[in-house]
Structures are given as C-alpha cells and as structure tokens.
C-alpha cells in the first residue's frame, strides 16, 4: 500500500504547531548529522571514490508478507554479485539514518528515503562495499548488499503498535528484516561459506540487534561475523544532567513496539528502552562482533552529550561543529565522554572472539567511504580500519585497538561543520 505525496501533504497540514516544530527539528537533526558538506583538514581525495553505481531492487516478497516502509511502500536493497573466490561469500551493510520517536517525526520521514522507497535511487558502493581491491582488500569480490533503512527503528518495529487514526504509518521493521533475509537466502546466501553483516549508525544498531539471527539463518559450517560502525550509543547524561538519549530511546521503543526484537534476557530484568542501548545488547550476542567507533563521535556529541535542546547552545555551538574549537573545559568534558565509552566497553574487550577499532577522530560512520581503507585513512598501529577488521575476521591476529586521546592521531579525519 503506497501513500501518495498529496496524502502526505494533506496529513501534514493537520499537524499542530507543536508537532510541526518537533518534526522540523527532527528533520534538521537528520539532515545535519548525515550531511557531508563540510571543510576538512584532510585532503579532499579521502572522499574521491572508485565506486560503482548500483540500482535499487524492491523486495519481491514484501507485499505478501506485509513488510512495508513507514509510508507503505516496498523496502529495497542494492545487490552486486560476487566473482572469483568471492562467489560464495557475502558482505551486507545496513544503511544508517537515526530513528523517529513520535508520529510527527515518523510522518516527516515519509517524504524522504528514510521512510519511503519512492525517494530511493541508485547508490554508490564504496568502502566495505567497494569492488576495488585497493579500497577493499579483503571483501572486494564478495557478493555485496546494501540494505536500505526505511522503518525508523533499526528494523525492530512491530505492526501491533501501528496507529490507525489516519496517519498511515507502518511499523514493520522486524518484518522488513525477515523479508530481506528470505530474499537474499533465495539469491544464494543460503550456500554462503563466509558472511559478514555490517551497518553504520542506526544500521549498526540493527546489526547488533539481528546479529545472532543472521548467524542462525546461514549454514552451520559457514564463518559468520558482524561489524557495527559508529553505533555504540551511550546511556549518558547530557551536559545539563538530563537523560536525553534514554528518554528518546524510550519513545522509540514504545512507539514502534520494539521490545519484542530486543534480547529477552535483558527485557526480563530492565526496561525495554534500556535494552535498546548497545552496552546491554552486546552482552547477549554470541556471534563474533567487531566494533568501529570514534571516541569523539560527532553524532553522539551533538545529540547525546550536547543536544540541540540544551540550555547552553551558544556556549557549545562552536565546539559541537568543530572539535578544534573546543575550550579546555569543554575538552575535559569530551575526554570524560571518551572515558565513559571505554568503561562501557570493558567487558566487551575481554572476550577473545570480539574486536574493536576505537580511534580518536571527530567523525561518525567510517566504513562506507574511503576512510575504510586508503593512503589517507585513519590508522591505529599503522593499519587502516579495513586491515584491522580483516585481521579480526580471518583470525590473522587479535585486534582490539584503542587510540590515545584527542588530538594525538594525525591520521584522523575530523569533521568541520562550521561552513555547512
């Protein structure tokens, strides 16, 4: 069931002033966080990619199974067939894009590719999805899939929580996940010898939520692992001492009915919204997992630590946009945020089959572009993210890399939003 743009506009006019403001702020956050119109101290060729444009494929079985995007359109993915030694190997990457925590912010997504396949187009395959061995040394010839994200809940929503009051919102994240898996298994993934499920931001959270299920769907003899990029979101108070992210996740989980997709052992002992935080999810994951995360994740600094609704927007504005502009006092707070991340990873680090690449860059996702691997990519122990992830996946060596505090790493690409 696809909803027309005119229907969306008609519904939009019915929103209250408060809803409009909430929705506008939500869209601004999405566009601001995932826009890469910026100046950088690194060379521009970090973003010059030898990439393929891959067309969108709509899920054939989605209509029968009821797996719809927020607006009722069919979900989609992009597929590039593997070749040579990679013919029976699969790497999947789940797109990021935040979450929607209210009817207003979810409805806002209906007019974007984050809520409707009507706005999805072909995409470039780069980074971990690149076909070029110079950019992607270990996975370049694998079957490659980019899963589009259009449900607003990291593929954790359930239809029982849908509203039937004229808003026409579909909370089908869990069904989308299942439908995508069914179609890829039919395409040949059921015979995979090796597979890697990855994702960035909200897509990385989806990777963690569904990691064990991904393992269970593939042959027992296959080597199956997961990689989550820029998705270890912290349950930390903001600079005003408020649990901004905790409240936000509570709204997301309640709105979408996401509790049913979260670890049962966690939901049995604490509020389901707390089980949406990666620190709780990883305790239940049995499949080998690799984390790529910047210690100064700009998305978390701008939304978890210093959200836009903070009472101190002017004081933090320059720092939020460019870490080079932070005062010594602000850097002390950011170093404390980094320490919270490292403390949260304490138990994760102890397990042999797990790996990590925690650099000290002011950036967000790093696996889908040339920061994955190249001469100007961030490095730890003189190795790129791709090299460290490859060492971990193929058991060449244990990889648990943690960078020194900012500004010690000259290989970092640090985002600058002051001109955006």
Q: What angle do CA 210, 176, 189 make, to 5 degrees?
A: 65
Token look-up 């939020």 returns: 320
297 among known catalytic residues: yes
Cα–Cα distance for residue pair 365/84, rounded to 1 Å: 29
373 among known catalytic residues: no
> Among positive and negative, which fits the CA dihedral 385, 136, 146, 42?
positive
Cα–Cα distance for residue pair 17/165, rounded to 1 Å: 19
Cα–Cα distance for residue pair 301/36, rounded to 1 Å: 17
In this structure, the chain runs to a length of 420
- Give the pair of three-digit tokens for residue 274: 């707390």
In this structure, are strands 223-229 and 400-402 parallel, antiparallel, or unpaired?
Answer: unpaired
**How far does Cα 283 stand from its chain's mean position?**
19
User: From the CA atom positions of the chain, what is the Rg in Å?
Assistant: 20
Residues 6+ apart with CB under 8 A from 315: none
Which one, of 118, 39, 32, lies nearest residue 415 by Cα?
39
Cα–Cα distance for residue pair 223/178, rounded to 1 Å: 21
Pick the catalytic residue from 154, 364, 373, 403. 364
212 among known catalytic residues: no
In this structure, are strands 355-359 and 194-200 parallel, antiparallel, or unpaired?
Answer: unpaired
Pick the catalytic residue from 297, 391, 403, 416. 297
- Give the pair of three-digit tokens for residue 382: 């003189």
- Give the pair of three-digit tokens for residue 280: 């709780």
Pick the catalytic residue from 153, 201, 261, 310. 201
By annotation, the residues acting in catalysis are 201, 297, 364
């Amino acid at each position: 069931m696809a909803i027309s743009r005119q229907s969306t506009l008609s519904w939009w006019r019915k929103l209250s002033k408060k809803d409009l403001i909430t929705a506008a702020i939500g869209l601004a956050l999405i566009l601001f966080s995932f826009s890469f119109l910026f100046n950088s101290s690194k060379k521009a060729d970090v973003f010059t990619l030898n990439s393929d444009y891959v067309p969108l494929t709509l899920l054939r079985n989605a209509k029968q199974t009821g797996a719809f995007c927020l607006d009722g359109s069919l979900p989609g993915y992009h597929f590039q067939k593997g070749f040579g030694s990679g013919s029976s190997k699969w790497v999947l990457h789940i797109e990021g894009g935040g979450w929607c925590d209210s009817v207003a912010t979810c409805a806002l997504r209906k007019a974007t590719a984050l809520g409707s396949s009507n706005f999805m187009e072909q995409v470039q395959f780069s980074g971990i999805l690149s076909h070029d061995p110079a950019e992607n040394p270990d996975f370049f010839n694998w079957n490659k899939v980019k899963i589009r994200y259009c449900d607003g809940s990291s593929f954790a929503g359930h239809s029982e929580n849908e509203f039937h009051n004229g808003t026409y919102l579909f909370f089908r994240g869990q069904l989308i996940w299942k439908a995508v898996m069914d179609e890829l298994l039919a395409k040949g993934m059921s015979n995979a010898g090796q597979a890697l499920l990855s994702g960035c931001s909200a897509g990385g959270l989806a990777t963690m939520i569904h990691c064990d299920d991904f393992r269970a769907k593939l042959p027992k003899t296959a080597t199956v692992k997961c990689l989550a990029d820029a998705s270890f979101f912290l349950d930390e108070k903001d600079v005003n001492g408020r649990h901004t992210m905790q409240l936000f996740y509570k709204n997301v989980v309640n709105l979408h009915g996401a509790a049913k997709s979260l670890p049962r052992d966690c939901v049995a002992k604490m509020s389901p919204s707390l089980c949406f935080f990666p620190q709780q999810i990883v305790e239940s994951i049995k499949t080998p997992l690799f984390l790529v995360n910047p210690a100064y994740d700009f998305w978390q600094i701008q939304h978890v630590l210093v959200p836009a609704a903070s009472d101190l927007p002017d004081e933090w504005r320059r720092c939020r946009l460019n870490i080079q502009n932070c005062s010594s006092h602000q850097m002390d707070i950011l170093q404390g945020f980094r320490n919270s991340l490292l403390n949260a990873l304490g138990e994760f680090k102890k397990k042999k089959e797990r790996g990590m690449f925690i650099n000290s860059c002011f950036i967000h996702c790093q696996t889908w572009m040339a920061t994955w691997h190249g001469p100007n990519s961030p490095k730890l122990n003189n190795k790129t993210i791709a090299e460290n992830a490859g060492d971990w996946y193929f058991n060449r060596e244990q990889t648990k890399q943690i960078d020194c505090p900012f500004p010690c790493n000259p290989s970092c690409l640090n985002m600058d939003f002051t001109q955006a």
